[in-house]
Chain A
Amino acid sequence: MRLLKLTLHHIRRSPFQSAIAFITVFICFFILNFFLLINRGLSSVLNHFETKPEITIFLKDGLDQAKVESIQKELASFPEIKEIRYISKEKALSLYKDMNKDNPLLTEMVTASILPASFEISAFNPKVLEDISQSFSTKKDIVDEIIYQKDVIESLLSWTKVIRQSGLVLIGVSIFIAFIMIFTLIGMKINNRKDEIKISRLLGASKFYVKRPFLLEGIIYGFFGSLFGFILSFLIIYNLRTVINGFFQPIVFVSELSLFEPLLLAIEVLIGIIIGLSASWMGARRYIKW
């Protein structure tokens, strides 16, 4: 209790230094948590595409019914096929009109003849889709275009990778800044209180005894900085959840509350405490020489 009282006394005696240390840790964990929640959403996007492997083969115009049926048979001969859907020109027009029902200008001039017929194939194993893509890409006489989601996933993956790497660098830099800030501020506070430390040492205080208030001070910055950093970033993202999820529909970018959030909070607060403690411990070790 006396230790806590003394530590709070130290914090009150230099409020601006203390505020800087707190804000630095707060910003660090705001960025960290914001990034983690975005990363979770990106994983949902990737997962959405990865778990729904599909390929679309657009056919050339003028193919007769027999030819279409033979293509369908050939597709069905591949293993682990989940579903094969034939979209005729008429069906394609109907889908197109349905998609653009709010914009009559886009549908007025379009007829079934200008839209290609296509096959939409989904599979249990994405590897099969790759085989189909390779097999049909050589059949230029019947195939107009192949859209394979692997390309979409690869593009998403490369973007996600860039975002994740940038996030990691940002987190690393902000953690480093928070660490250096606490380390330096503890050093300054030790220097400001060197007479008090020297007196305590003369009265028989051990080195650990005089370090304790500074260590606890670091822990307090880490604890409250990480806690409030989490809470603010969490509140922002969850308040914008409807808008964000509407944008990514049908993918759930920001998921419902679960055990994940309290667990994440506990881990982040623990990391905050470790950062605060290690920075203040190194600061105390470096600057307490008496």
Chain B
Amino acid sequence: MEIVFEKVTKNYGPINVFQDLDLKIAPGDFVFVTGPSGSGKTTLIKLILNQIKPSGGDVLINGVAINHLRSKSEIDKIRRKIGVVFQDYQLINDLTIEENIALNLDIVNYPQNKIPSRIDEVIKMVKLQHRHFLFPSQLSGGELQRACLARALSIEPEVILADEPTGNLDVANAWNLLKIFKDINKKLKTTIIMTTHNPDFVDSLNEKVIKLGKTEHETA
């Protein structure tokens, strides 16, 4: 899935977050999005998910300007190809981890008879065996973030959007999670777009970086 921003501007009322932002993310890329708080990292994720519309310019996914899509079903179709890992997890609290994953698989019309085996696969990938039957409230922060990643991975997405996935984790858990993301990118060729304000992560992987700032925006 190719993601292109063409002169994207985003304003929240009088506050300008982006001005004429251009960027291109090719299939299989691992991209860090960095910048200080309020620089628009989460806004960039929301624009790709079409949760919000740009004030100017276009967001293109595989050549289609999604901000001009009127059909909600077209937007839903695009979202079904994207796995999302949120900083605050966004797991459904009264469903177990495997039920949360199963829900996402059901949403993307994954074959019902293959759902249990797919859950087992992703649970193993994120090393959450013996935890999948628990509810989110029974897991630690690191486990929750891995559960969230398992849900995103389960649908075999073309892109994973990870919004500050290490923000709530201790150093060890954060590095573990980063390693899992890197493995997924390497083995499955899944595009990863990860927002972070941890420069150590960015420096360690030597991957593409999109730096956002309040006054100027540059792309790597």
Identify the A interface with B (CB < 8 A): 1-2, 6, 9, 13, 195-196, 199-200, 202-207, 209
Contacts and interface: CB of A to CB of B under 8 A. Distances in A.
A199 B136 CA distance: 14
A152 B5 CA distance: 87
A4 to B, nearest CB: 12
Contact of A200 (B49, B73, B81, B103): B103
A13 B76 CA distance: 28
Interface stretch (B16-24, B105-113, B176-184, B190-198): B105-113
A254 B49 CA distance: 64
Nearest to A205: B107
B55 interface: no
Contacts of A209: 107
A204 B107 contact: yes
B92 A196 contact: yes
Contacts of A200: 103, 107
Given A202-B49, A204-B108, 13 more contacts: A9-B94, A9-B95, A196-B92, A202-B51, A202-B79, A202-B84, A203-B80, A203-B151, A204-B79, A204-B82, A204-B107, A206-B72, A207-B72
Nearest to B46: A202
12 contacts: A1-B112, A2-B106, A6-B103, A203-B79, A203-B80, A203-B104, A204-B80, A204-B81, A204-B82, A206-B72, A207-B72, A209-B107
Contacts of B104: 203
A204 B77 contact: yes
Interface string B31-51: 000000000000000000101
Contacts of B107: 200, 203-205, 209
B102 interface: yes
Interface in B126-158: 151
Interface residues of B, number: 25
Most buried by B among A6, A203, A205: A203
Contacts of A204: 76-82, 107-108
B11 interface: no
B168 interface: no
A199 B80 CA distance: 12
Contacts of B79: 202-204
Nearest to A197: B92
Contacts of B151: 203
A199 B90 contact: yes
Contacts of B94: 9, 13
A202 B90 contact: yes
A204 B94 CA distance: 20
Given A200-B107, A203-B79, A205-B76, A2 B92 contact: no
Contacts of B81: 204
B72 A203 contact: no
9 nearest CB pairs, A to B:
A204-B79, A204-B80, A205-B107, A196-B92, A206-B76, A204-B76, A199-B90, A203-B104, A203-B107
A288 to B, nearest CB: 12
A99 B58 CA distance: 98
Most buried by A among B78, B81, B91, B107: B107
Contacts of B82: 204
A130 to B, nearest CB: 70
Given A13-B94, A196-B92, A2 B102 contact: yes
B64 to A, nearest CB: 16
Contacts of B80: 203-204
Nearest to B75: A204
Contacts of A205: 76, 107
A202 B46 CA distance: 10
A13 B93 CA distance: 12
Contacts of A207: 72
Contacts of A196: 92
Nearest to A209: B107
Given A1-B112, A2-B102, A2-B106, A203 B84 contact: yes
A146 B78 CA distance: 86
Nearest to B94: A13
A286 B158 CA distance: 34
A1 B116 CA distance: 14
Contact of B112 (A2, A6, A13, A202): A2
Contacts of B112: 1-2
Contacts of B92: 195-196, 199
Contacts of A2: 102, 106, 112
Contacts of A195: 92
Nearest to A5: B99
A196 B95 CA distance: 10
Nearest to B78: A204
